[in-house]
Amino acid sequence: MNSIESLRLDFNTQISELGKIKNDSISDNLIFVGSGDSYVSGLIAEYLSHHKCKCYSPSDLFNSQLSKDRVYCFVSVTGKTKANISVAKRAAQAGCKTVAITFNENSKLAQVCDKTIHPRLKRAHTPTAGFGSFVANTVTCLQVSGIIVPKKFKIWYQNAVKISQNVLDSLVLPADKVFLLGNNALYPIALYSSFQMAEFFGTVAIAHKLEEFCHSPIFGLKKSDNVWIFGQNEKRFRSGVERLGLLTSYIELYNSDALAQVFQSIFLVQNLMLLLAGRYGYKELQYLLKEDVLKVSSDIIYDG
């Protein structure tokens, strides 16, 4: 089974597992710490908690004073991220309460933290962390921050599949780069999309808050660039960007239910990656084929 087919299996099988995740609230005043997809999971919790919880990359905290009044939740699928382990050690030495959210209960991160939470998702075998582990971490972050996540994953998944099929014709893989834009809780979705575009297709994909994009990055656009807008009744932005002669795709994701919006958007992005891979004939995740780059990345990121 090639790497993209394994993710297709992961995409479909995660739905039966996600409803089994159950965690008690730790606090609604948490600090989530993570990198990559794990950072996105914490950032979603920050937005849906109306910023009572905060989310940072570990590099944000290297030289910061850590607060004993906050609980630090370190999110990492592998538990091997050097930066997370370093900040977790500092937090423990400072007398802060620490929690590891990880699939690896024997990891160095788990050993450093006071408590370990395993998302308890049966994962499909994939060469990457996979789709399901990201959603499981997101559910876990929300639950420990006191947000109740209803077991509507099947409904959200089905709605997302329909939306992705409807918008597929408006999307192309960019020849140069793609800007992914979203406001509020859709900004983490844009960020997650940028990671997936890079891993699936080797595409230069840059996420911005939609409003911030118009303050400066918009002036760096080139005619070969694509713009994808994850919108919430914001079609005026689409018409404005289209006037610049750029290939622009607008995906309407407004939903008065914030949880439905977030999870439908996540499943939408995941399915769009699979659909685009099928359309363009991709069988393998492109980042796995860049062995020299992958080695440099892993050497920098991982401990051991």
- 166-212 pLDDT, tens digit each: 999 989 998 789 999 999 999 999 999 999 999 999 999 999 999 89
- Mean pLDDT over 62-77 rounds to 94
Amino acid identity of 105?
E
- pTM beyond 0.75: the answer is yes
Strand order in the sheet with 247-252: 204-208, 177-182, 226-231, 247-252
pLDDT band per the 50, 70, 90 thresholds, residue 216: very high
pLDDT band per the 50, 70, 90 thresholds, residue 124: low
- Mean pLDDT over 211-224 rounds to 90
The larger pLDDT score, comparing residue 23 to residue 1, is at: 23
The rounded mean pLDDT for the chain is 93
CA 224 to chain centroid, in Å, comes to 26
Give 194's contacts (C-beta < 8 A, 6+ positions apart).
Answer: 180, 205, 206, 207
In this prediction, residue 62 carries a pLDDT of 93
In this prediction, residue 123 carries a pLDDT of 66
User: Nearest 10 degrees: CA dihedral of 137, 139, 145, 146?
Assistant: -160
287 phi and psi angles, rounded to 5 deg: -70, -25
In this prediction, residue 1 carries a pLDDT of 79
Q: In this model, does residue 243 exceed pLDDT 90?
A: no
**Is 92 exposed, middle or buried, given 0-12, 13-18 or 19+ CB atoms closer than 10 A?**
middle
Q: In this model, does residue 254 exceed pLDDT 90?
A: yes
Lowest mean pLDDT among 18-22, 217-221, 240-244, 250-254: 240-244
In this prediction, residue 50 carries a pLDDT of 96
**pLDDT digit string (tens) for 277-303?**
999 999 999 999 899 998 999 899 986
Q: Name the residue among 298, 7, 243 with its Cα closest to residue 132.
A: 7
**Cβ burial 150-179 (10 Å sphere, 16+ → b, else e):** eebbeebbebbbebbeebeeebebbeebbb
Q: Which two tokens stand for residue 300?
A: 């920098």
Rounded CA gap, 197 and 177, in Å? Answer: 10
**pLDDT digit string (tens) for 30-64?**
999 999 999 999 999 999 999 999 999 999 999 99
Rounded CA gap, 35 and 59, in Å? Answer: 9
Contact in structure between 53 and 75 (CB atoms under 8 Å) = no
Cα separation values, 63 from 57, 59, 261, Å: 12, 8, 35
Phi-psi bin for 281: left (phi > 0), alpha (psi -120 to 50), beta? left
Contact in structure between 84 and 74 (CB atoms under 8 Å) = yes
List, in sequence order, every residue forming a beta bridge with 55; answer none if it has no partner: 32
211 phi and psi angles, rounded to 5 deg: -65, -45
Cα separation values, 142 from 81, 150, 160, Å: 22, 11, 20
The larger pLDDT score, comparing residue 118 to residue 176, is at: 118
Q: In this model, does residue 126 exceed pLDDT 80?
A: no
In this prediction, residue 303 carries a pLDDT of 63
In this prediction, residue 127 carries a pLDDT of 65
pLDDT band per the 50, 70, 90 thresholds, residue 114: very high
In this prediction, residue 238 carries a pLDDT of 81
208 phi and psi angles, rounded to 5 deg: -145, 155
In this prediction, residue 304 carries a pLDDT of 58
The larger pLDDT score, comparing residue 225 to residue 125, is at: 225
**226-231 vs 177-182, strand pairing mode:** parallel
List, in sequence order, every residue forming a beta bridge with 226; answer none if it has no partner: 178, 247
Rounded CA gap, 124 and 33, in Å? Answer: 25
In this prediction, residue 219 carries a pLDDT of 92
134 phi and psi angles, rounded to 5 deg: -65, -45
pLDDT band per the 50, 70, 90 thresholds, residue 246: confident
Amino acid identity of 156?
W
